[in-house]
Every structure is written in structure tokens, then in C-alpha cells.
């Protein structure tokens, strides 16, 4: 093996290790999550950008808890009724196109309210297409079939059929401590 080949292999391995070490952190007692570095060409986010983005500490109080998802920064923020940021973390929304259904899967932007919740055993009735049964632990439905729910796969890009994926521990915290029927859900624009 030539010196050049050895150098290229070494740099490639080093680059892979550096990419895998990227992480996004949460505040308010949250957990650090490693960013998945698999990149969707159409909508990718630099792991460094994920690591540095933070929601503002306060927003206008609206008298109820508010969950905000930002698909550009792949983050969620939780504000209490007084407008104080109490937690934030990594998230992934709907992707630009889903081949299995032949259309865009983007999470619809706008303002909604949670209308139904499920526990740790919540499952999709629609996906995978034709079968259903995809795990959606601690699902919190806010618009039709769209929900915030836990997933072990929260990549560094928007990847779902439209639901907002958060790490399972975050979904449990949100469901048990923060979101109830009527909690405001804001989905920012892509």
C-alpha cells in the first residue's frame, strides 16, 4: 500500500470519527444526544449548527405550555405558561418527499393544540404503508394524524412521514411532565 493510500484511509477514518462525535445538547436538565451524520442531500444541517442553536430563554406568555418545533434547526423547545424555556432538544420532522406515498411528507407549519395522547406502546395505524405498527412511544397528536413522538432514530435531517420525532426519553418527559390535551404546538416553516 502506498504512502498516499495510507494517508487517504487515515484521513477518511479521522473524518468519520469527527462526524460521529457531533452532538446537540438540551437545557433544563436534559440529556446530550449524538447527532446522526447520515445526510439527506436535499435538507441537511451541519452538526455544528445543531450543536450551537438555542431557543430564546423567554417568549411572550400565553397562559399555557407551548411546544415549538423548528425544522430548519432540527430542534424542539418547551415553554411554560409564563413564557419561560424549560427544556429543548433534538428533533426531526417530515421529509421533502416520501416515495412510498408519492408526495411531500413535510410536517405542516402552523399553530395547533394537542388533542390526544398515547403511552409507551403507541403505534402507527398507517405506517409502514399497508401494515401499520411503527412504534410511536408517547405519541401526542396535534393535527390529524401528525404527532410528536419518541423514536430511537432522530437523524440530523428531516426524515419522517410528517410526525415530529424526538428521542424516547424526551418524548416520555414531554408526555408525562409537559404536554396535555390543549397544549399549544407551533411548527415553524421549513
Q: Is the model more confident about 102 or about 31?
A: 102
Q: What are the residues whose beta carbons fall under 8 Å from the beta carbon of 80, sequence distance 6 or more?
A: 65, 86
Q: Is the model more confident about 26 or about 82?
A: 82
Q: What is the pTM of this model?
A: 0.74
- Whether 38 has a pLDDT exceeding 90, the answer reads no
Taking the domain 3-187, which CATH number applies? 2.40.440.10
**CA 29 – CA 25 distance, rounded (Å):** 10
Express each pLDDT in 55-103 by its tens digit.
999 999 999 999 999 999 999 999 999 999 999 999 999 999 999 999 9
Print burial letters for 84-100: b (CB count within 10 Å at least 16), e (below 16): ebbbbbbbbbbbeebee
In the chain, helix, strand, coil percent, each to 5? 20, 30, 55
- Cell numbers standing for residue 57: 430563554
In this structure, of 20-24, 159-163, 173-177, the range with the lowest mean pLDDT score is 20-24
The pLDDT score that the predictor gives to residue 12 is: 32
Mean pLDDT of 101-125: 97
Mean pLDDT of 123-144: 96
- Whether 145 has a pLDDT exceeding 90, the answer reads yes
The pLDDT score that the predictor gives to residue 183 is: 98
Mean pLDDT of 27-41: 31
Tell me the pLDDT of the chain averaged across its residues.
80
pLDDT tier at 53, thresholds 50, 70, 90:
confident
Amino acid at each position: 500500500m502506498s504512502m498516499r493510500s495510507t494517508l487517504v484511509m487515515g484521513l477518511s477514518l479521522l473524518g468519520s470519527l469527527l462526524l460521529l462525535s457531533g452532538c446537540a445538547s438540551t437545557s433544563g436538565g436534559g440529556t446530550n444526544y449524538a447527532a446522526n451524520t447520515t445526510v439527506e442531500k436535499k435538507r441537511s444541517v451541519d452538526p455544528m449548527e445543531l450543536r450551537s442553536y438555542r431557543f430564546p430563554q423567554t417568549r411572550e406568555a400565553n397562559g399555557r405550555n407551548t411546544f415549538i418545533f423548528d425544522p430548519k434547526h432540527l430542534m424542539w423547545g418547551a415553554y411554560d405558561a409564563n413564557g419561560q424555556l424549560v427544556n429543548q432538544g433534538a428533533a426531526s420532522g417530515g421529509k421533502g418527499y416520501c416515495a412510498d406515498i408519492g408526495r411531500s411528507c413535510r410536517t405542516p407549519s402552523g399553530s395547533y393544540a394537542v388533542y390526544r395522547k398515547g403511552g409507551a406502546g403507541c403505534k402507527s395505524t398507517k405506517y409502514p404503508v399497508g401494515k401499520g405498527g411503527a412504534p410511536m412511544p408517547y405519541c401526542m397528536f396535534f393535527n390529524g394524524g401528525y404527532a410528536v413522538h419518541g423514536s430511537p432514530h432522530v437523524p440530523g435531517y428531516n426524515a419522517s412521514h410528517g410526525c415530529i420525532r424526538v428521542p424516547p426519553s424526551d418524548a416520555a418527559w414531554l408526555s408525562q411532565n409537559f404536554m396535555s390535551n390543549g397544549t399549544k404546538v407551533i411548527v415553524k416553516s421549513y
